[in-house]
């Protein structure tokens, strides 16, 4: 019975709500992971192993969000559009889990992974591996690179992931009408 109700909701026609939600998710996810990449490549912050894992849901979710936005704007079958948006919601729930786990490691609520200091980042093109090893000091997963308004990058990722998950899950089953 519950399966039938969910299938019925996913088969509802789509409208501007799903188009705007898919577009918001696409842009928001690009900005979020783009910001992390800017902090790394422009700001000089070296990501820890958990930081790199937190990016994976975005790398997977962005192409799906693009497909969802195209499907919603092109009025593809409702089941396809809503399923893509639902999938984004589930991916962002996983992202939320990763971010909360990482933030908890930073606040020392629980232990982090044993490999949390093994990240890339060395420029090995010089051919002098030993100098590069001495120069690059990867961060530990339990030390936040910085905090803004009391939250680390992992904490802000948890906020963003929660918002993206809520928007996706709500719009996947919502009526096709306008947002609001």
DSSP string of 117-179, one letter each residue: T------GGGS-HHHHHHH--PPPTTS-S--BTTB-HHHHHHHHHHHHHHHHHHHHHS-SS--
Q: What pLDDT shows up at residue 17?
A: 84
Would 117 be classed as within a structural domain?
no
State the pTM of this model. 0.78
Would 157 be classed as within a structural domain?
yes
Measuring CA to CA, which residue among 5, 57, 27 is closest to residue 173? 5
Lowest average pLDDT, out of 5-19, 33-47, 104-118, goes to: 5-19
CB 119 within 8 A of CB 49: yes
Cα separation, 151 vs 159, whole angstroms: 10
Lowest average pLDDT, out of 50-54, 111-115, 172-176, goes to: 111-115
Q: What is the DSSP letter of 151?
A: B
For tokens 């051919």, the residue is 127
Q: What pLDDT shows up at residue 12?
A: 57
Would 78 be classed as within a structural domain?
yes
End-to-end Cα spacing for the chain: 30
Would 92 be classed as within a structural domain?
yes
- Mean pLDDT for 60-64 is 97
Q: What pLDDT shows up at residue 49?
A: 82
pLDDT for residue 46 is more than 60 = yes
Could you give the C-alpha distances from 88 to 31, 46, 48, 117, in angstroms and in order? 16, 27, 25, 30
pLDDT for residue 174 is more than 50 = yes
Lowest average pLDDT, out of 27-36, 53-62, 69-78, goes to: 69-78
pLDDT for residue 91 is more than 90 = yes
Would 93 be classed as within a structural domain?
yes
Angle CA 65–70–76, to nearest 5: 115
Would 6 be classed as within a structural domain?
no
Phi first, then psi, for residue 70 (nearest 5°) are: -65, -45
Note the pLDDT tens digit of each residue in 157-168. 999 999 999 999
The domain total for the chain is 1
Q: What pLDDT shows up at residue 93?
A: 97
For residue 144, what are the domain limits?
32-112+135-173
- Mean pLDDT for 92-110 is 89
């Amino acid at each position: 019975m519950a399966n039938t109700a969910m299938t019925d909701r996913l088969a509802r026609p789509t409208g501007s709500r799903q188009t705007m939600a898919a577009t918001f998710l696409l842009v928001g996810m690009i900005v979020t992971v783009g910001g992390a990449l800017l902090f790394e490549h422009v700001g000089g912050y070296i990501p820890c192993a958990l930081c790199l894992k937190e990016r994976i849901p975005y790398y997977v979710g962005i192409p799906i969000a693009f497909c969802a936005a195209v499907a919603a704007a092109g009025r593809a079958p409702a089941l396809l559009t809503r399923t893509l948006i639902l999938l984004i919601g589930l991916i962002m729930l996983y992202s939320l889990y990763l971010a909360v786990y990482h933030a908890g490691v930073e606040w020392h609520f629980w232990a982090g992974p044993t490999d949390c200091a093994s990240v890339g980042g060395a420029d090995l093109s010089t051919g002098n591996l030993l100098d590069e090893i001495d120069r690059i000091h990867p961060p530990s997963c339990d030390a936040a690179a910085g905090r803004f308004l009391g939250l680390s990058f992992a904490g802000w990722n948890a906020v963003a992931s929660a918002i993206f998950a809520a928007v996706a899950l709500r719009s996947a089953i919502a009526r096709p009408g306008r947002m609001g």
